[in-house]
Structure 1
Amino acid sequence: MVKEIREEILQKTAIPCMKLKLTDTKPSLFDSKVGGIGYVPRDAKIPEDSEGVQLRLLAQINCAEITLEDFPHQGLLQFWILNDDVSGLNFDDNTLQDTFRVLYFKEPDRTVTEEEVCGKMQDPSSEEEDYFPVRGCYGLAFSAGVDTISSGDYQFESRIKELVQQDYPEEAERLLENIDDFIDENGEDWGGGHKIGGYPGFTQWDPRGESDSHDVLLFQLDSDYHDSRDRILWGDCGIGNFFINRENLKNCDFRDVIYNWDCC
């Protein structure tokens, strides 16, 4: 019985998202990209941590390519992280924007050149070792999609219970004896992939809880193996994600964002 209704129940959790695919095109300073050189205003520095070490560009999104409600539809949204052995992850405070940074430029100055930005960069030889998850620089292709709730999302159990009790009240107790019966046995509902919006994927667990207000998946970057090489690798084939509160997102306020990544 559970298998018969599982897809029906999951479809009721569906929300829109933007699926992202890496491309081998050479993105400009103002294009969407993963890795590479990010836009930096003429009067600004490349983001640094509290010890003066520059962060590196994880990804840049040209928001004109986003069609989702509540997201900005112009400007550049950037994700920067520290190139250290934990890729800038703060285990004590995953919202502290020191070893990571989320920046938004509504109207970037298009007279800034890549050469100007490169001139602000510290000598990469000063970095003891390269732990950066992105190997190279890639463009991004966007496509509108739909996500159903992922089995690792902290809301999975409560949402499934709510829908089953609503649609099958007389049989709910029996149907919910084992909530794991609603997880795809092939693991296809785990939430992986590169995306904006939708539901997140984890190799460990969701860092959020029931009382957490970071209810929107702002950006997710998965490990990516293609043509016999790693293009993106988080630790041992992990996944990285950023979360934000919807009201803050609507206001283009990116000061309070969870940054998380995990691996097996």
Structure 2
Amino acid sequence: MAKSILIPKQLQRFRLMLEQSAMEYMRCMPNTKTTNLMNSKLGGMPYLPKGATHPRDATGEYMLLLAQINFSEDSFPSPFPTKGVLQFFISSWSYEQTLKTGNILPQNYFKIRYFPITVTHEMIEDFTYLQGVSMHQFPFKKELSLSFSREIEPVSATDYRLNEYIPPNLVEQFTQTEQQRFSDIYFHYFSSADHKMGGYPYFIDEDIRATTVSLRKYDTLLLQIVSDDEMGIMWGDSGVLKFFINHDQLEKRDFSDVLLYMEDY
């Protein structure tokens, strides 16, 4: 593990349980540094080797690059790749589509693409064909570079698996003895409301996997982007975008089945 978990005094009685739930993740830190086509970034222009096509959505419109991760720039925890470039594209119509489909975006309005091997001598550099694509509801208006920090965290306050690690009867005992709601204390320290890859997700409402068993196969957080005033990142009304994938599929570098769940207030 990268680091030990910092557990506040109020939650020390749950230390063993929280340590059992611990997972490593990559914290993603956006900044305003200039990027090139190969760099990790939010927004901007993608790495596209010549011969590759730019993804289009269900309407035939070009999608926009939401995020690009170059795994050679840092050491990512397993089961993430150790090399190559992973890209997340979304449609400019994605916000309207999530309003129609209960926050789950249909896969023909986003695209995950992975290049296990990259070339720098033959890349597409002319993206004038994107000039007509609307940026009106895109979560950020300018390109942001990404840097990374490898961290460790216990199960998050809104992940459905919290009840598996800390039983409801212990939660009730805590509330009675501390005269404070366990959920309030736990959310304060472990909301997981960060830009990240891996680890546990943050939900505004509730973890949809709690009531929809068929979605539990999406057990790995591939990427989470939260609204961030400081960096000019805003999805709808202070929303969050989460990409989930099955652990085994990620190990196989198979990105054909990914769940994109979007929430806002």
TM-score by length of structure 1 reads 0.84
Task: From the two aligned structures, give the one with the greater helix fraction.
Answer: 2
Would you say 1:195 and 2:196 are equivalent positions? yes
How far has the Cα of 1:27 moved from its partner? 1.1
Q: Percent identity?
A: 29
Q: Could you tell me which amino acid in structure 1 is paired with residue 116 of structure 2?
A: K
Deviates more, 1:3-12 or 1:194-203: 3-12
State the match for 1:27 in structure 2.
Answer: 35
In structure 1, which of residues 218, 242, 256 is the aligned counterpart of residue 222 of structure 2? Answer: 218
How far has the Cα of 1:11 moved from its partner? 3.1
Any idea what SS the aligned residue of 2:250 has? helix
Kept in 2, the 8 Å contact 1:75–1:105? The answer is yes
How far has the Cα of 1:54 moved from its partner? 0.9
CA change 1:201–1:173 in 2 (3 A) is closer
How far has the Cα of 1:83 moved from its partner? 1.2
Any idea what SS the aligned residue of 1:139 has? strand
Q: Could you tell me which amino acid in structure 2 is paired with residue 101 of structure 1?
A: K
Q: Could you tell me which amino acid in structure 2 is paired with residue 137 of structure 1?
A: E
Distance (whole Å) between structure 1 residues aligned to residue 222 and residue 188 of structure 2:
23
State the match for 2:115 in structure 1.
Answer: 105
Kept in 2, the 8 Å contact 1:87–1:131? The answer is no
| Residue correspondence of structure 1 range 73-84 to structure 2 within 5 A | 73-84=82-93
Distance (whole Å) between structure 2 residues aligned to residue 105 and residue 147 of structure 1:
29
Kept in 1, the 8 Å contact 2:103–2:261? The answer is no
Would you say 1:156 and 2:199 are equivalent positions? no
State the match for 1:146 in structure 2.
Answer: 152
In structure 2, which of residues 131, 156, 171 is the aligned counterpart of residue 123 of structure 1? Answer: 131
CA change 1:246–1:114 in 2 (3 A) is same
Would you say 1:254 and 2:255 are equivalent positions? yes
State the match for 1:55 in structure 2.
Answer: 63
How far has the Cα of 1:29 moved from its partner? 0.3
Would you say 1:94 and 2:104 are equivalent positions? yes
Q: Could you tell me which amino acid in structure 1 is paired with residue 257 of structure 2?
A: D
CA change 1:2–1:20 in 2 (3 A) is closer
- 1:103-131 CA distance string (max 9 Å, x none): 10111231234523x14x2332x53x610
Q: Could you tell me which amino acid in structure 1 is paired with residue 88 of structure 2?
A: F
State the match for 1:39 in structure 2.
Answer: 47
Would you say 1:184 and 2:185 are equivalent positions? yes
CA change 1:40–1:114 in 2 (3 A) is closer
Kept in 2, the 8 Å contact 1:33–1:59? The answer is yes
TM-score by length of structure 2 reads 0.83
CA change 1:45–1:237 in 2 (3 A) is same
Any idea what SS the aligned residue of 2:242 has? strand
